Amino acid sequence: MLISFEPPDISAEIIYKDTFKDTINTQVKNEVHDTLLQKKQKLDLARLKEKKVLSALELNKLTDILYNFSYTSTKSYKGLLIAESDGYRCYEPRNGIVFLDENGLIAEYIEICFECHRRRDSSEKMNIGKFCTEKYDLIRKYFRNNGIKYGTTKLTE
């Protein structure tokens, strides 16, 4: 399934109380991340903006992009390899590829931020190789061609 979703609000005010002294309330901004994609959890459909369940043919096209396109796949490749530490640091994922098991629970997933060209894979089983600018662009176009618009628009579009 291809999905789009709002990035979570990762800041929240947390009040710490010191029980050894007089009650002191200190408000601290902490990162709290209510993860949408988590293995062996039910996918919260209410939090999705868009979703597309893929047919077998559509899944074949997606796996072709994921597994058969890489920066070392052809001699004529002219894209830029994106290292894990390169790119912008926003990482506000808005898109994902989700694989559900027979019980409707998340078996595996790939969480993607097309803006900063970073991703998070659910496990090493999702070994889909190195990503480059063209691979991100192919996946982004694949999302758009399957009706997933949110999070896939380039800033220049």
Q: Are 2 and 55 in contact (CB under 8 A)?
A: no
Q: Which position has the higher pLDDT, 115 or 143?
A: 143
**What pLDDT score does 132 carry?**
82
Q: Which position has the higher pLDDT, 139 or 38?
A: 139
Q: How far does the chain reach from its first CA to its final CA, in angstroms?
A: 25
Distance CA 98, CA 106 (A): 7
Q: Which position has the higher pLDDT, 19 or 33?
A: 19
Q: Is the pLDDT at 154 greater than 90, yes or no?
A: no
* 58-106 per-position pLDDT tens digit: 999 999 998 887 655 455 545 544 444 454 567 788 999 999 999 989 9
Beta-strand runs (E) in 32-80: 48-52
pTM higher than 0.85: no
Q: Are 105 and 157 in contact (CB under 8 A)?
A: no
**What pLDDT score does 108 carry?**
94
* 118-151 per-position pLDDT tens digit: 888 998 887 787 788 889 999 999 999 999 999 9
Q: Are 50 and 147 in contact (CB under 8 A)?
A: yes
Q: Is the pLDDT at 36 greater than 80, yes or no?
A: no
